[in-house]
Structure 1
Amino acid sequence: MKKSINLLIAFTLLISFFACQNEPIGGIDISAEETIAVNSELYNNLARITDNPESDLPTTCVNFNYPITMYTFNPELQLLATTLIENDALFLTYLNNLEEDYSISLSYPITTQLEDGTTFTINNNEELKENIEACIEDIKLIESEAVLQLINNCVWKVGYTRNTDNPYLGAIFNEDNGSTAFTYNEQLLFGSWTTLFIENELHINISLNNSAEVGEYFNFDWKVEYLDSNSIQLTNGDKSFVIHQYCDDDYALCTNFLFEECELEDNLDVAEFTFDDYNFCINNILQTDDSITDLIFFETEDDAINNTNAIPSDQMYLNTSQFQYIYVRVQNLADDNYYVVNIYLVATPC
């Protein structure tokens, strides 16, 4: 099960915001310092805390105990509306639909009693901002410790990256007490794999004993971003790639999107392909859940985008050239989102 630990969105102390629910529009005397401007840092942080709150976090981090009432102001600080918010989803919808030059306000002071009997109070926007920023640092530390525990187990395989080119899809890092063995195709390299914290940010410093292309690609200090319970993203400047943790032998079964079949005896450069046979590997490489993902195969990218002229995946397909790209529409059945990846068919002499 994948459990996401995301910065700025996980908060544990339930604090109630009380306000009059029948406040008439207009007539509130308020200054710009008392409001929270749309798209300000504090406003964006408030938007983030409405998304999937977690537990086991610092006890003085703000969360909302619904219902709450929000005040909306125009650029002249005239009250436009009061809105009763009853859950995170409605709060997020409210925040995401305000005009760029609008602002909102909360009622202060916000006060609660902690488990140790002390009183915790937030008196204004600045204190609220300071509270959230302090929570960010604590959450970063919790996230980094979780990632560090994750890193020190099993093997890591370079995964598919949708937004950037990835020349080493399927490459394996086998980390062992600060050293690593790197394998890609028939190449085996050794080197160091050092984890370190820089201002509470987790980094992995990779140094392979290779000065050629592989070393030029991987030998950097990489900032670590936790994606889920078995995936992290490594970033250095404009270069980024994803690695997935494998604790069983599945990592060795699927290394890339190239699928080979023996060419027919009476028809050279042509082979029989059944795409359902490749579903496991495609889902394995993409780290997708096959219970909510549909893989649909097409001969052209336009057909994949438009979802037309699909190739039956359970029937035999004869390639049209010895080396042929097939386009796979990766369809999320839960929300209808999709993206397209390429697989490569090769009819090889056997």
Structure 2
Amino acid sequence: MKTKLKFLVLLPFFALLLFTSCQEETVDITPPDEAEALVADSQLTSFLSATSKNDGSKDNIIDGTSCISVKLPVVVKVRGVEIRIDSEADYIKIKRLYDEFEDDIDRLDILFPITIITSEHEEITIGSAEELSEFIADCKDDDEEEEKEIRCIDFQFPISFSVFDRDFQIIEVVEIENNRQLHRFMKRVKKSEVFASLNFPLNMVLKDGTVLTAENNEQLREIIEAAKDSCEEEDDFSRERLENYLKKCPWIVYEFKRNNQENDEFKQYAINFKDDGVVTMRSRNGDILTGEWELERTRRGIAIEMEFENLADFTLKWLLYDFEDGKIKIYEAGGNRIILKRNCEVVVDITKERVKNFLKECFWRVAELEVNDTDKEEEYIGTPLKFYANNIVKIRVNGELVEGTYEVLVRNTGIGLEINLEGRPDLKLQWLITFLSEDEIELKNADNEMELKRHCPDNDGDLNFILDALVSSEWEVASYIDEGEDETPNYKDYVIGFNQSGMLFAEGNGNDYRGSWLAYRYDGLNLALNFKTQEAPFNELRYRWKIKEITMERIELKDYSDNGEIERILVLERRVI
């Protein structure tokens, strides 16, 4: 709670005794008996101290830890966008940017220097991300276990203390307005610098907003103890829930950083947390590594410890700093961080039969293709593959199916896939399957990589509507904005059409372009346009566009940069004859 400071500075106990004879005004408070006085080493004193510690959990979306909080205002950068956080209400701005795209890595960068507030309400200036990581790694709660921070209950301020001498004569009444003042006051009580008692009644507020009233020390102690136990039960549930959640499905490495260095080698590694402390990991080349794991509650939070005999980079006690549905983030001091995403469809045990069954389900589109360090996937926009029985594979190009053959291979290094399609040398390679799930297959050989994404349009109502809308009429470019420049006039007098077979055409100004199109679902709805030409202006429209709006009369498509900013907008409208 952040309220205006009205704290009356107290003198040490021995000095306060000198002023008792100087009291002239009468304080209208009944002097407490000795039982109501706060004792330095009592449980209630420890409870008051623990309850008044700074709650660092509210801003975990910024710093990823509950042992500190970042003093506001602070400026952060999320997905390339700078945001000024002036109050706790502004945290929602970060969450909204995180939620804008489902299939991305949520990354937040703090603009340093910043001021952090420890659990003891101390303010410390931090000058860099490395310095912050080191501090978080070392920060702890109080050494006394009974004084671990109690977060699920708070005082309803203001409250007041009566300060008195050895003869129980009141010498001062101190009003406390917030947790910071209370924590500092309790430090003096614990050091026997002041002799004081609380003035009742006072109210306590639980996490759910329930207000409880205490009339004396014993009632207050019982209220805090009950709340403290509920916090511990909540921690136990979180740990148990996390353990079961980790074991339920495989987890894929989406980001790996060790000693502040990103290592793409470990991307797409699949991790299986199993019973009895066993963890298995499948590397990108199909190797299976077995190790040990366990969850441990530490003063800095829940830690996931992994140990592999032949994989030192993962062998560490990783602290959990973000846990949400489908994604966890873990870190350790020195710039070490792993982001894992859950994928219940990942297949760790890849077999020939399983691959063959997967391939024959639906279409597969070439999402990524790199051959000899050159990106080739643009050539396959809108041209999905279909694998049939009897080792027949077909690719749909300009609305026509081009036939070839394929074979699932068993090699010493794992399960492979050979594709033979005439006129498609980039695919005519023997690929090693390094990743397999219900919706995705990743393949690799030498310096080449390919990623196939499953495309199943038959039972998708949205895709069927898009198909009906596109083929129902001809279309015109109503607007094309490229990085703020209006290039719509370049498409004047052109007519665009979509055939149900997957053929795309554009006619006008003496030109006739043919190509392929495909509407598909991946992180939302998309429309792939592939005009088979290098000539302007239609070469610019070869892209996998995000569908932001579509009706029978109008289609709005957008192209986003890596940081989520809109770079291009293409609007097609039904042609009126």
Q: TM-score range by the shorter chain?
A: 0.3 to 0.5
- Larger RCO, structure (CA 8 Å, separation 6 or more): 1
Alignment TM-score, normalising by the size of structure 1: 0.43
TM-score of the superposition, structure 2-length normalised?
0.28
